[in-house]
Amino acid sequence: MRVVVTQLAATAHLNLVVPIGWALKAAGHEVVIAAQPDIMPAVKQTGLLGVAVGDEARYAERLAELAPEETIYGSGYSITEIRPEVLTYEYVRDCLAAFASPLALEVNTDASVFDGLVSFCRSWRPDLVIWDSMTYTGPVAAAACGAAHARTTIGRDHLGRLRELFLRLRAERPDAAGEDPLRDWLTAKLEKYGCEYTDDLVLGQTTIDSLPSWLRVPTEYDYLPVRYVAYNGPGTIPDWLHTEPERPRVCVTLGNSYQEVWDGRAELGYPELFEAVADLDIEVVALLGPASVPDGVTVPGNVRIPGFVPLDPLLGSCSAIVHHAGTGSTLTALLNGVPQLIVPHALHDEDQVAAAIDAYGAGVHLPPERFSPSSLRTELQRILNDSAFAERARKAQEEMRATPTPHDLVKDLEELVIRHRKAIG
């Protein structure tokens, strides 16, 4: 079968779907990754075919130009909201409306991307479209060409959670029976291509999810679980990783989106890191970019700043990781059984991810309001000295290894296509 994989034009999103593309390709299927032009260099490095659709994303540049009130972050609504007292019917309805608007989804992918992907899919005629939950070009293109489609989560599925809550709350409100902001938004997109709305376009005909069960948000949705396979882009293993470290090694990373989308904005920077670890008997590998070390700041002798190193092989030698709670960093750490010290970004639900890791016992949540060089040092020492963190991290690793692989997923996707073909005759 022919498969189109499409996602937000950010490396962190691309890396999550590449192993699925590899598995489909290895099973004999044709696979094309379709996304905006500025992610195509990274797509070429995956070994899979790519096709550029729409205009460039330019996320960091465009977000820097927008006032807070022009984005979802300044709207007063958050799709990650979990406080029961806030989640009234009106709030959930209006939050979904804000999400499906120029404040959020239309910042991710504009009309040019919809047009480009629909045009390509109508020409190439895929049997299956696999799409990123943060962009709706995929299901619209699938409807336009008659393909089956599967959604992939890029973290905890707050959209699925809020959609489920919205439908439940609406059922309790007879006066709200006709309201559905996601339906209305998608209907307008579909009409441009002569297609009709169906409910499965909101959350996919199935949803592929790579999170361990205990890290997901509570929903009644029946996910298609797949083992997370770490892909960090092409690279080589440096010589110093060939041997075991002489003292505990700690990785510090802020992930890809930190630079690509948010232009380096984060709580954790070099001065704070250096102050926290300078006299500890550990080796720190800081993947923060050598060029961003401030002028006049001295790098301690126990800190290595090597530039890009693939995270997966690096974590195999580490006793702990300090990071921001991005999906790739979090799951790669769990996959390697490495305890985590998380200083979360305040962008999506990073604080909730950090709290879940903390509650599970595989790491420590250090929120920004408690962050300082002193607290970073204290919590890092606690993780390194208390074996309970390593034991819980290994337990999480065992659960991930027991999850079906992308190879196993291929059969499920083939069956989805067969069911879809029968349904449409």
> Residue 72 carries which DSSP code?
G
Q: Identify which of 107, 83, 106, 81 has the alpha carbon closest to the alpha carbon of residue 94.
A: 81
Q: What is the pLDDT of residues 284-330, one digit of tens each?
A: 999 977 777 888 888 999 999 998 899 999 999 999 999 999 999 99
Helix axes 406-424, 11-26, angle to 10 degrees: 80
The per-residue pLDDT for range 236-266, each reduced to its tens digit, is 999 999 999 999 999 999 875 555 544 445 5
Compute φ and ψ for 66, nearest 5 degrees. -90, 140
Angstrom distance (rounded) from CA 141 to CA 139: 5
> If DSSP codes are grouped into helix, strand and coil, which group holds residue 268?
coil
Mean pLDDT (the chain, rounded)? 93
| Helices (H), ranges, 66-157 | 89-99, 105-108, 111-124, 137-145
Share of the chain above pLDDT 90, in %: 82
Cβ(212)–Cβ(280) under 8 Å?
no
Per-residue confidence band for 207, with pLDDT thresholds at 50, 70 and 90: very high
Query: pTM score, two decimals?
Result: 0.93
Mean pLDDT comparison of 100-104, 115-119, 370-374, highest-scoring range: 115-119
372 has a pLDDT exceeding 90? yes
Q: What is the pLDDT of residue 262?
A: 44
Structure tokens given for 110: 């504009």
d(CA 192, CA 42): 31
Spatial contact of 91 and 77, defined as CB atoms under 8 Å apart:
yes
Condensed to tens digits (0 to 9), the pLDDT of residues 328-365 reads 999 999 999 999 999 998 778 999 999 999 999 999 99
